[in-house]
């Protein structure tokens, strides 16, 4: 009893800040804030209108439904894109304590996750997601949807993880041979109020996870996400689920999306879905790691709120249904300090104990020092300050020294002429000092296998063009390279084409990629070169790369990508990354012509 009282009192100190309209602390005391201020939405093209005011009630009929007379509010807490960040930001222990505090204050809570929870750090990689599901069970999640990275350990493993979960997964568009894998929606009744939840996942999961996992042994897609060239199948799937849940008497309808706001994911962004559907109250969203709170008009011209909470538990989103008048509002609880909330507040609860248990199980292996570096190796700009984490990720739109290092490792370890790595597969910085196994896994968390093919110069040029198609926007398909150099002419619009699955089909106009040089000589489109990459790109059409489908395989899945990096640093470089990689912006292999 004393321990329980200590736990509640500990977090109530944080609660003093959490439930203030806007309060911050200074220095080592940390700060927790309830963010009810709207922000400008990311650019989404010319369609739709947004009026960013996340704290206003929607004008849907459900907004006038009383939550429950004389009771506390109903608070739907949501997380997204946690990516195995079990003890950063709020941490799972802080999330658990936040929910406990809300309940103690008289609110009724539901906790849901919008995907990409099980992948992204060594605790996920080494347990193939199992440790994360264990912790989500301990936290007490009520519902989850699959994100694109839930599938990164393979379809069989993903389905095993869903069986391990004490909470249901829902999705209105994830199907096997036309049959839904999960229920499209679920209704939760809280204090007499029925709340319907509908799940939807971006069809670009087929290319941003591993395409092979969605195929049968003959390479035919048997799993899908209602993808087509127009987006209509996804819109219809969402609308059908919304109509069904309303027919079952839901007072409010919440769409849980893993859709995002990036232009490259059209026609499946949150904006596309809202503009083409109606009759739900709020869309809580993930995938693009933003924290935008946006109001926009749906198909019927009514206002719908879209709310996102960022990544790695830096923010916890909420949808609050007022007990007084039934109005609906959205917002964020945010933690903006480098020290996590559980560490700073010394939170002790069942989840904090389980987090420490999981960390202890992996600590010995992860903390083993395998090499060192005398320079910072980066995916983020060392000078610019930008996004919600205070960093600007540049590896997905330009060369970096870590991109060079990883690509060099592929080429040196295989003896290939050229190596290509999609920047989305290089996930974290390494600062000067010791390099541990954990650091290596954080760079290459997916466990991709190295392959080598014989490819023509034209196939290589097409690959570079496909990787550069989204500039100046970032794209995980952007290629870091070794053994070649090239220029990207930004005055030329990309004319790459793709099919409904997001797979490369060709280039219709002028190429923006120019002056490709291999070994100091212009690339020969008709010549064959040995190209090293990984199974994700060369065999499984990852990120939509199809141009190598007919390239003869020379080495087939010979070693894990993270082991290649370890071998390169420890053997070829005698265990020390040095001045060769001192420039964070690389050696000039990729020149972008503004």
Can you spell out the DSSP letters for 492-522?
SPP-EEE-TTS-EEEE-S--SEEEEEETTEE
Coil vs helix vs strand at 119: coil
Q: What is the mean pLDDT of residues 167-181?
A: 97
Q: Is the pLDDT of residue 177 over 70?
A: yes
Instruction: Quickly count: other Cβ atoms within 10 Å of residue 277's Cβ.
Output: 26
Q: What is the mean pLDDT of residues 173-193?
A: 96
CA torsion through residues 463, 466, 471, 473, sign: negative
How far is 547 from 555, CA to CA, in rounded Å? 18
Q: Which of 321, 336, 358 is the last residue of a domain?
A: 358
Q: Is the pLDDT of residue 503 over 50?
A: yes
Grade residue 35 by pLDDT with cuts at 50, 70 and 90: low
How far is 229 from 342, CA to CA, in rounded Å? 45
Q: Are residues 427 and 341 in the same domain?
A: no
Q: What is the mean pLDDT of residues 208-217?
A: 82
Q: Are the CB atoms for 426 and 586 separated by under 8 Å?
A: no
Grade residue 170 by pLDDT with cuts at 50, 70 and 90: very high
The pLDDT value given to residue 370: 86
Q: Are residues 341 and 374 in the same domain?
A: no
CA distances to 202, 266, 272, 330 from 269, in Å? 8, 5, 5, 20
Q: What is the mean pLDDT of the chain?
A: 86
Q: Which residue has the tokens 């570079």?
A: 464
Q: Are residues 396 and 329 in the same domain?
A: no
Q: Is the pLDDT of residue 138 over 60?
A: yes
Q: What is the mean pLDDT of residues 249-256?
A: 97
Q: Is the pLDDT of residue 195 over 50?
A: yes
Q: Are residues 512 and 550 in the same domain?
A: yes
How far is 502 from 500, CA to CA, in rounded Å? 5
How far is 455 from 573, CA to CA, in rounded Å? 28
Pairing between strand 576-577 and 450-456? unpaired
Domain count, the chain: 2
Q: Which of 315, 337, 358 is the last residue of a domain?
A: 358
Pairing between strand 143-144 and 484-489? unpaired
Q: Is the pLDDT of residue 190 over 50?
A: yes
Q: Which residue has the higher pLDDT, 465 or 363?
A: 465
Q: Is the pLDDT of residue 182 over 90?
A: yes
Q: Which of 334, 358, 382 is the last residue of a domain?
A: 358
Q: Which residue has the tokens 């994360």?
A: 132
Q: Is the pLDDT of residue 16 over 70?
A: no
Would you state the structure tokens that stand for residue 539, as one six-digit string? 């065999």
Q: Are residues 502 and 580 in the same domain?
A: yes
Q: Are residues 31 and 68 in the same domain?
A: yes
For residues 248-270, b (16+ Cβ closer than 10 Å) or e, as one string? Answer: eebbbbbbbbbbbbbebbebbbb
How far is 482 from 484, CA to CA, in rounded Å? 6
H-run or E-run covering 134: helix 130-139
Q: Is the pLDDT of residue 457 over 50?
A: yes
Grade residue 528 by pLDDT with cuts at 50, 70 and 90: very high
The pLDDT value given to residue 54: 37
Q: What is the mean pLDDT of residues 365-392?
A: 81
The pLDDT value given to residue 179: 96
CATH number, domain at 540?
3.90.780.10
Q: Give the residue from 150, 129, 139, 126 showing the smallest Cα distance to 361.
A: 126
Q: Is the pLDDT of residue 39 over 80?
A: no
CATH number, domain at 139?
3.60.21.10
Q: Give the residue from 197, 179, 175 showing the smallest Cα distance to 188.
A: 197
Q: Are residues 72 and 36 in the same domain?
A: yes
How far is 215 from 208, CA to CA, in rounded Å? 15
Phi, psi torsion values for 291, nearest 5 degrees: -125, 35
Q: Are residues 173 and 264 in the same domain?
A: yes
H-run or E-run covering 413: helix 401-414
Q: Is the pLDDT of residue 569 over 50?
A: yes
Q: Are the CB atoms for 488 and 473 separated by under 8 Å?
A: no
The pLDDT value given to residue 208: 73
Q: Are residues 332 and 389 in the same domain?
A: no
Q: Which residue has the tokens 């420039």?
A: 583
Q: Are residues 382 and 330 in the same domain?
A: no
Grade residue 125 by pLDDT with cuts at 50, 70 and 90: confident
Q: What is the mean pLDDT of residues 226-252?
A: 96
How far is 183 from 178, CA to CA, in rounded Å? 13
Q: Are residues 430 and 345 in the same domain?
A: no
Q: What is the mean pLDDT of residues 244-269?
A: 93
Residue 509 exposed, middle or buried by CB count within 10 Å (0-12, 13-18, 19+):
exposed
Residue 353 exposed, middle or buried by CB count within 10 Å (0-12, 13-18, 19+):
exposed
Grade residue 143 by pLDDT with cuts at 50, 70 and 90: very high
How far is 466 from 527, CA to CA, in rounded Å? 20
Residue 499's domain spans which residues? 367-593
Q: Are residues 292 and 249 in the same domain?
A: yes
| N-terminal to C-terminal alpha carbon distance within the chain | 65
The per-residue pLDDT for range 330-343, each reduced to its tens digit, is 999 999 888 999 99
The pLDDT value given to residue 49: 33
Q: Is the pLDDT of residue 3 over 50?
A: no
How far is 140 from 312, CA to CA, in rounded Å? 18
The pLDDT value given to residue 389: 55
Grade residue 8 by pLDDT with cuts at 50, 70 and 90: very low
């Amino acid at each position: 009893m004393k321990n329980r009282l200590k736990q509640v009192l500990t977090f109530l100190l944080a609660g003093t800040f959490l439930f203030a309209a806007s309060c911050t602390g200074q220095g080592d005391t940390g700060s927790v804030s309830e963010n009810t201020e709207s922000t400008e939405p990311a650019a989404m093209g010319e369609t739709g209108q947004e009026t960013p005011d996340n704290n206003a009630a929607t004008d849907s009929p459900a907004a006038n439904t009383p939550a429950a007379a004389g009771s506390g509010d109903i608070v739907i807490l949501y997380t997204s894109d946690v990516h195995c960040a079990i003890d950063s930001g709020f941490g799972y222990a802080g999330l658990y304590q936040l929910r406990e505090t809300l309940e103690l204050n008289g609110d009724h809570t539901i906790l849901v996750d919008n995907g990409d929870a099980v992948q992204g750090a060594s605790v996920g990689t080494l347990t193939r997601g199992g440790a994360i599901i264990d912790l989500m069970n301990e936290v007490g999640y009520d519902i989850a949807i699959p994100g694109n990275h839930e599938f990164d350990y393979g379809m069989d493993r993903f389905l095993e993880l869903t069986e391990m979960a004490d909470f249901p997964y829902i999705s209105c568009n994830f199907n096997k041979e036309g049959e839904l894998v999960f229920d499209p929606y679920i209704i939760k009744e809280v204090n007499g109020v029925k709340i319907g939840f509908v799940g939807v996942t971006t069809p670009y999961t087929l290319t941003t996870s591993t395409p092979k996992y969605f195929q049968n042994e003959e390479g035919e897609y048997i799993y899908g996400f209602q993808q087509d060239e127009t987006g209509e199948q996804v819109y219809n799937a969402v609308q059908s689920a919304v109509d069904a849940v309303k027919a079952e008497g839901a007072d409010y309808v919440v769409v849980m999306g893993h859709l995002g706001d990036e232009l490259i994911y059209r026609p499946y962004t949150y904006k596309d879905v809202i503009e083409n559907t109606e009759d739900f109250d709020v869309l809580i969203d993930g995938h693009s790691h933003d924290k935008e709170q946006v109001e926009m008009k749906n198909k019927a011209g009514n206002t719908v709120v879209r709310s996102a909470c960022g990544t790695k538990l830096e923010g916890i989103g909420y949808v609050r249904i007022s007990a007084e008048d039934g109005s609906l509002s959205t917002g964020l609880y945010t933690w903006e300090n480098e020290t996590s909330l559980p560490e700073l507040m010394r939170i002790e609860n069942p989840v904090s104990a389980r987090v420490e248990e999981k960390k202890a199980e992996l600590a010995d292996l992860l903390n083993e020092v395998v090499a060192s570096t005398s320079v910072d190796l980066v995916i983020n700009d060392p000078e610019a300050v930008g996004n919600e984490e205070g960093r600007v990720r540049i590896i997905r739109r330009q060369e970096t020294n870590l991109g060079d290092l990883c690509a060099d490792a592929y080429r040196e370890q295989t003896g290939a002429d050229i190596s290509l790595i999609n920047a989305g597969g290089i996930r974290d910085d390494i600062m000067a000092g010791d390099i541990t196994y954990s650091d290596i896994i954080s760079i290459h968390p997916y466990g991709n296998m190295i392959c080598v093919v014989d490819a023509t110069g034209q196939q290589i040029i097409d690959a570079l063009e496909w990787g550069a198609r989204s500039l100046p926007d970032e794209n995980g398909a952007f290629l870091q390279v070794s053994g070649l150099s090239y220029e990207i002419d930004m005055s030329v619009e990309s004319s790459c084409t793709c099919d409904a699955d997001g797979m490369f089909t060709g280039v219709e106009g002028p190429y923006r990629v120019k002056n490709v040089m291999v070994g100091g000589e212009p690339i020969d489109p008709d010549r064959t070169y040995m190209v090293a990459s990984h199974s994700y790109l060369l065999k499984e059409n990852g990120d939509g790369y199809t141009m190598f489908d007919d390239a003869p395989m020379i080495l087939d899945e010979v070693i894990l990508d993270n082991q290649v990096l370890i071998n390169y640093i420890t053997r070829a470089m005698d265990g020390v990354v040095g001045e060769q990689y001192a420039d964070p912006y690389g050696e000039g292999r990729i020149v972008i012509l503004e």
